Amino acid sequence: MDYRVIKDNDLFLLSDTNGNIPENHPYGLGLYTKDTRFLSKFDLKINGEAPILLHSDAAENYMATILLTNPHMEKDGELILWRESVQISRTRFIYDEVLYETINVKNYYPKKVAFNISVHMDVDFTDMFIVRGFQNGDVGSRQGQTIEDNTLTFHYEGADNVNRNTKISWDREAANVTEAGDVSFDFELEHSQEESVTFIIQPQVGSAVTKEIMQKEEALEKLKASFHDWNDSITKVSTDVAPLQRLVDRGINDLRVLLTDLGYGKFPVAGLPWFGVPFGRDSLIAALQMLAFQPEVAKGTLYTMAQYQGTKVDPWRDEQPGKIMHEIRYGELATTNQIPFTPYYGTIDATPLFLVLLTEYVKWTGDLQIVHDLESNIERAITWINEYGDRDGDLFVEYHQESSKGIANQGWKDSGDSIVHRNGDYAKTPIALSEVQGYVYQAKMGIASIYEQLNKSDRATQLREEAKSLKEKFENEFWMDDVNFYAIALDEKKAQVGTITSNPGHVLFSEMLDEDREVKVVETLVSPKMFSGYGIRTMGEGEAGYNPMSYHDGSIWPHDNSMILLGMSKLGHQPVANTIINGLIDSAAHFEYDRLPELFCGYSSEIGKAVKYPVACSPQAWAAGTPLVFVQTILGLFPNSLEETITLSPVLPDGMNELTVENIKIGSGKLSVKVSTGSVTVLENTTGFSVVQK
């Protein structure tokens, strides 16, 4: 990726590989929180010239290190600074909503040198939607800058009457400071001598009392401790397949960076740089992917989503009572109601996924207290499914955009061209998506099992009957005999949208499909039409809408594959699942830091390279969670605390000889397993549940 990004909680920095934020950069670089850019320019120079990049690294997730040096400098034949005399290192991290950057300079010239380091800053306080070019609107105005001691503060008054400031301080006496945002420092260094200056940058929103800023050393120590605690608390994986090991380790660290807490527990935001906010569908799926590694994240996600559950009919926000939100934004356009994201509810799948995550979380943990806490939220979500989601009473949940500034396609494939008929015509709403019906079935069956445990047998029976009716109608209406596959959707006229896509693959996890047809779905998903060698495509090669370079019509999304993998493993199709896993592992070698991106192009692996999608988010939560699903899939691990059983059916992929997974939290205990070629050993089982090996 041609940018560097670091994040902690709600603050993230997006810079170029030199560590700079060039003014008016087309990719919208900057320092962001609350959907507002609090630093729009941050350029470093030595003697007024741009330094030369040597190395740029953001592999540690929470800290970026950038190494530069000076160009050769002469004037009128007189040497000012010999090339590569000064090493300039920029080290930065974020903690407690504050950015810390240390600029260290070291002299490698044989003699004493003198030079000037300058930093040039500005803040435009632009709303994220304006930065991305999606919206324009009425905004506030800059209120100038103030200088006090070693501090420069930029001021802004928003159209929402909220004051926003960026406070920048430094710990070394400056040679010059201007209100325009220029700060410079003079250095004189002997051979091998080094000195530094640290900038502390704090966004400020509203009139709340500004908290005292920690010193850099204390902040860094606490940040490292939080990562140490995270790594101590999470499931441990060890395998002899080094690329998978790197993917799992990278995924775990990326997910830690993407966690945010709004006061109801930690949950994953969708991804960086543009989706570092609560996202119904994305946050729920990422939490589902993490259940075998850190189920507490699912708990925080559920409580957060419940807090923002819809309460009224509001077409501007596509809101209805009981509906789980799509996305929430905090910028100036949102707070002045110029965009409907406060939150926006235009998603058809977040509500059933909320229930799916809750049922899976209970299966893993046995935590029935969350059911008591969220019982009204559960019932309101089921009511939304039956009344508002099923707009015409045909048992299928369908979507239709009401908001003038909302989203037209409201499934996970939400681009305007993603639901397309075989003849190339775009489907018209209301649209009922195949995977959503699977989520609804899984949700109702799961809640029914929980209600039986809580002696709510009548309600459980009712939900099971509703799920059974949905299954029967789904088989009748979505199955396509001519291609032995399910339609992606039904359109406004209840006609099948017959394009071959990955969507029906999600229904495998719900266990809703007839067994014979389930096998046909699996065969199609790994056929050359759908499987590129690197992963399952979103749309089959040769379909009218197929385009391997597209966002949703032939590209490969790791999370899409992960949802299919969970179903394949659960239903015993692990050899096929392992083929997909090996393809995705191979693809990761073509991306920076062995990190699976949000998506990549769907070209065949025969070309010898996984082709990048130009603007994919990275890191991205449900892409980071995909390698964790690999591990669960390989183990065939599906606990059920309601029955006090743990299903374990491991099948190692080709090329893997050993997989050890330790400290898996299940119920009130832990499970550790070692799988070798030809043997399965339960190293530890303190759950009190019986392990059933298949």
Q: Which of 36-45, 105-114, 205-214 has the lowest mean pLDDT?
A: 205-214
Task: Using alpha carbons, list the distances in angstroms from residue 649 to 571, 680, 682.
Answer: 11, 9, 12
- CA-based diameter of the chain, in Å? 93
Distance CA 515, CA 674 (A): 31
Sheet containing 432-433: order of strands:
432-433, 489-490, 496-497
What are the structural domains of the chain?
4-224 (2.70.98.40), 234-680 (1.50.10.10)
Angle, vertex CA 479, rays to CA 476 and CA 481, nearest 5: 115
Side-chain-side CA neighbours of 148 within 13 Å: the count stands at: 5
Distance CA 292, CA 633 (A): 11
Distance CA 205, CA 343 (A): 19
Instruction: Note if the bond before 619 is cis, omega within 30 degrees.
Output: yes
- With CA atoms as reference, report the closest residue to 647 among 274, 270, 363: 363
Q: Are 630 and 248 in contact (CB under 8 A)?
A: yes
Report the pLDDT averaged over residues 467-494. Answer: 98
- With CA atoms as reference, report the closest residue to 669 among 692, 645, 686, 690: 686
Token digits of residue 481: 């005999």
How many CB atoms neighbour CB 296 within 10 A?
17
Report the pLDDT averaged over residues 586-604. Answer: 93
Report the pLDDT averaged over residues 313-324. Answer: 98
Report the pLDDT averaged over residues 124-128. Answer: 95
- Phi, psi of 432, deg, nearest 5: -105, 115
pLDDT digits (tens, 9 = 90+) for 622-677: 999 999 999 999 999 999 999 999 999 999 999 999 999 999 999 999 999 999 99
Distance CA 659, CA 324 (A): 38
Q: Are 415 and 551 in contact (CB under 8 A)?
A: yes
Side-chain-side CA neighbours of 495 within 13 Å: the count stands at: 14
Which amino acid is present at 36?
T
- Phi, psi of 631, deg, nearest 5: -65, -45
The CA R_g of the chain, rounded to the nearest whole Å, is 27
Of the pLDDT bands very low, low, confident and very high (cuts 50, 70, 90), residue 615 is confident
pLDDT digits (tens, 9 = 90+) for 288-304: 999 999 999 999 999 99
Of the pLDDT bands very low, low, confident and very high (cuts 50, 70, 90), residue 58 is low
Q: Are 558 and 434 in contact (CB under 8 A)?
A: no
For the purposes of burial, counting CB atoms within 10 Å of the CB of 581, is it exposed (0-12), middle (13-18) or buried (19 or more)? buried
**How high is the pLDDT of residue 3?**
80
Distance of CA 417 to the CA centre of its chain: 23
Distance CA 667, CA 691 (A): 13
Distance CA 359, CA 284 (A): 12
Token digits of residue 400: 């239709």
For the purposes of burial, counting CB atoms within 10 Å of the CB of 608, is it exposed (0-12), middle (13-18) or buried (19 or more)? exposed
Which amino acid is present at 639?
P
Token digits of residue 269: 């935001």
Of the pLDDT bands very low, low, confident and very high (cuts 50, 70, 90), residue 98 is very high
Task: Using alpha carbons, list the distances in angstroms from residue 53 to 82, 86, 183, 537.
Answer: 16, 12, 21, 38
- Phi, psi of 545, deg, nearest 5: -90, 0
Of the pLDDT bands very low, low, confident and very high (cuts 50, 70, 90), residue 208 is low
Regarding predicted confidence, which is higher, 21 or 133? Answer: 21
pLDDT digits (tens, 9 = 90+) for 482-540: 999 999 999 999 999 999 999 999 999 999 999 999 999 999 999 999 999 999 999 99
Side-chain-side CA neighbours of 520 within 13 Å: the count stands at: 15
- With CA atoms as reference, report the closest residue to 384 among 305, 456, 454: 305
**How high is the pLDDT of residue 136?**
80
- With CA atoms as reference, report the closest residue to 377 among 327, 324, 341: 324
pLDDT above 90: residue 339: yes
First-to-last CA distance in the chain? 43
Mean pLDDT score of the chain: 95
Tokens 């670089």, residue? 29
pLDDT digits (tens, 9 = 90+) for 341-358: 999 999 999 999 999 999
- Tell me 356's DSSP state: H
- With CA atoms as reference, report the closest residue to 683 among 666, 665, 660, 667: 660
Q: Are 649 and 574 in contact (CB under 8 A)?
A: yes
Alpha helices in 366-401 (DSSP H): 369-373, 375-383
Tokens 């509703």, residue? 466
Please give the sequence-ordered ranges of beta strands (E in DSSP) within 211-315, or none if there are none.
236-239, 259-261, 266-268
Tell me the whole-structure pTM to 2 decimals: 0.95
Q: What is the DSSP string of 327-355?
A: B---SHHHHTTSSS-SSB---SSHHHHHH
**How high is the pLDDT of residue 619?**
85
Helix (H, G, I), strand (E, B) or coil at 520: helix
Q: Are 686 and 669 in contact (CB under 8 A)?
A: yes
pLDDT above 60: residue 209: no
pLDDT digits (tens, 9 = 90+) for 393-445: 999 999 999 999 999 999 999 999 999 999 999 999 999 999 999 999 999 99
Element (H, E) at 585: helix 574-588
Distance CA 312, CA 343 (A): 13
Report the pLDDT averaged over residues 211-231. Answer: 92
Instruction: Note if the bond before 273 is cis, omega within 30 degrees.
Output: yes
Task: Using alpha carbons, list the distances in angstroms from residue 475 to 1, 227, 513.
Answer: 43, 47, 7
pLDDT above 80: residue 204: yes
Instruction: Note if the bond before 548 is cis, omega within 30 degrees.
Output: no
Report the pLDDT averaged over residues 576-585. Answer: 98
Q: Are 123 and 40 in contact (CB under 8 A)?
A: yes
How many CB atoms neighbour CB 87 within 10 A?
17
Task: Using alpha carbons, list the distances in angstroms from residue 562 to 290, 535, 658.
Answer: 12, 10, 21
